[in-house]
Amino acid sequence: MAVATETAAPAPTRRRGRPEQRPGLKRWLPYALLAPAVLLELFIHIIPMLVGIWMSFIKLTKFFIANWSSAPSAGLGNYKVALDFNNAVGQGLLKSFGVTIAFSLITVAFSWVLGMAAAVALQPEFRGRGLVRTLFLVPYALPAYAGILTWNFMLQRDTGAVNHVLDQLHLSDGKTFWLIGGNALVSLITVAGWKLWTFAFLTLMAGMQSIPRDLYEAASVDGAGNLRQWRNITLPSLRPVNLVLVLVLFLWTFSDFNTPYVLFGTAQPPAGDLITFHIYNASFLTWNFGTGAAMSVLLLIFLMIVTGIYLLGTGRRSRRA
């Protein structure tokens, strides 16, 4: 007698480990992870920027500071005042713009040269290289306010260390004013460059780690010196890094407010009248927030145009290369 035997289907086994995600949760999880960053960007940057643009079109003076919604419309009046270079406001803004351009270009060049020199000098392996690299990063790790305040004390005329050292070296009479007069721009560039060059050093040093050592060894065999290796190997290899680094340094320097504010206080000298500090004075010292907001929008438009031209120009050069 034949006995029919049925093969029982294997019972479904539960996968051990992480439980399977539900399709709905899997679809919304990326948006949920991005939501905090989007909200922070919205409340920290986007909304204040839109409020600033709205302020630039109203007559927001001290008479309406308690109730912004009652401020009358100014149309393009605030922009006309800021861009009328025949009046005091327009002339002051134009002069401040020129000072800021000079300050930004010199500071970026100063920081890049120092950062590149330090990165190249610390590229070969030697004993204590890690310690030297760490010491070079101290200005970047130091809180900005603490570093600038220290420079403020060092640049004092009678009690500052800078005048004392220069006097001991017989390079000056030790009575130089560094925080007022024409030397204010030199002081500003020195402090801003001291603060920024370590970032350039860190970025360039990281970029150099990706350059194959074989290229330098082959160039040495062919008789290329250090300068030629730097010009023909290091610079071309660091081109993508430099494109981003120079743009970031320029944007940070042009919109720098902390350095002149901490270094000079509320009474900045004409030689150190950066545009961000000029806008601050136009807003909070004269209580004309509408004109100050118009200046800020003009600054934003200028930086956006410069960034667009820079990216367009460098992108074309990269495609041709």
pLDDT in the model for residue 223:
85
Dihedral over Cα of 172, 176, 181, 185: its sign: positive
- Each residue of 216-274: pLDDT tens digit? 888 888 888 888 988 899 999 999 899 999 999 999 999 888 888 888 887 788 888 88
pLDDT one-digit tens code per residue, 69-124: 788 888 898 999 888 888 888 898 999 999 999 999 999 999 999 999 999 998 88
Tell me the domains of the chain and their CATH numbers.
Answer: 96-319 (1.10.3720.10)
Whole-prediction pTM: 0.81
Write out pLDDT tens, residues 118-149: 999 988 888 888 888 888 888 888 888 888 99
24 contacts: CB under 8 Å, gap ≥ 6: none
> Which residue has tokens 């010196």?
225
- pLDDT tens per residue across span 267-289: 788 888 888 888 888 888 788 88
pLDDT at 16: 56
pLDDT, one tens digit per residue, over 22-44 is: 666 777 888 888 999 999 999 99
